[in-house]
Amino acid sequence: MTDTDWEPTAELARLQQRAALLARARSFFDERGVLAVDTPALVRRAVTDPRLHSISAQWPGGTAAFLHTSPEYAMKRLLAAGYGDLYQICHVFRGEEQGPLHNGEFTLIEWYRVGWTLQQLMDEVALLVQALLAPATARPVRQLSYADALRQHAGCDPLGATDDELAAAARAQGFDAALLARCTRDELLDLLMGARVGPRLGHGELCFVHRYPGSQAALARLDPDDSRVALRFELYAEGIELANGFEELGDAGEQRRRFEADRRERARCGLPQHEPDERLLAALAHGLPPCAGVAVGFDRVLMLAAGACQIADVLPFTSERA
């Protein structure tokens, strides 16, 4: 600790802008009749996703608890109970995330639209982000399939290429051969998208990348017209990922199989094992209405609106100064 560690990391003008944009986001949903909800941040089950690291806590009496990485599971339980269109602006927590674009605690805007398609949700995400970036000039919106993004910016076909061909494409992009030899197919794709393709997207525009490989569906349903891909999108601006959205999977049996596949992958990687969230699975079994949902990283949108270079510039205090 230094003599200045007590000081905020964001200037007053940035915090004033933060407050104004949060108010603008709430007005956006209120005007559209979307219900604001507030679900628990301290939950009883960690996520099984091997790419996410839940921060553990403890209930009085020693029962394990975790800080939520997203309000997704709780909001889907509300959807299954028939509560209709929902949104939430909340702090979420992810371990092992720290850097210019990452803070272990950050703000998500998450919402769900009943009966909506992926396309309808992408259109609304664009409207919200444009509203938050105003009064800057509205950005053109581009939509690009995941396969086309990898073909254009990494020279490979993520759906048709063999594992060896993906590894060769990654070597051509400058990745270390020894690293690549240890990667699964999805890890190769994550390297290419995260380090080479994503940073080239959304410069001067909003770029939606949609229809991710089915192996990266997470909680999205597969495209009924092409089971190789999932009805999932991400939004990029200035090379920064801002949002991740799905047409939501409502099949409890399929979701359980995906959770078990996550657990096997965590075991392979030497990560802590977590039991699936049985309350979410019970809600899906009860019946999730057809819906689409998305999480937008508010702090990153604020960075773009403020012209900031790092997430610390738009937070009162980073995790290091909490």
75 close to 88: Cβ distance less than 8 angstroms:
yes
Residue 134 tokens read as 């105003």
Residue 22 has a pLDDT of: 98
30 close to 18: Cβ distance less than 8 angstroms:
no
| Domain that residue 208 falls in | 12-140+204-321
Return the half-sphere exposure (C-beta side, CA atoms, 13 A cut-off) of residue 306.
26
Number of domains forming the structure of the chain: 1
pLDDT per residue as tens digits for the range 106-117: 999 999 999 999
Share of the chain above pLDDT 70, in %: 99
pLDDT per residue as tens digits for the range 247-274: 999 999 999 999 999 999 999 999 999 9
Report the alpha-carbon distance of residue 133 to residue 138 in Å, rounded. 8
297 close to 243: Cβ distance less than 8 angstroms:
yes
pLDDT per residue as tens digits for the range 28-64: 999 999 999 999 999 999 999 999 999 999 888 888 9
| Cα angle 146, 206, 241; round to 5 | 65
Tracing tokens 């992926």 back to the chain, one arrives at 118
CATH number at residue 247: 3.30.930.10
Residue 4 has a pLDDT of: 84
Report the alpha-carbon distance of residue 72 to residue 87 in Å, rounded. 10
Domain assignment of residue 187, yes or no: no
Domain assignment of residue 152, yes or no: no
Alpha-carbon distance values, 142 to 38, 101, 202, 237 (Å): 33, 23, 8, 10
Q: Can you list the residues of the chain whose pLDDT is less than 50? A: none
Residue 62 has a pLDDT of: 84
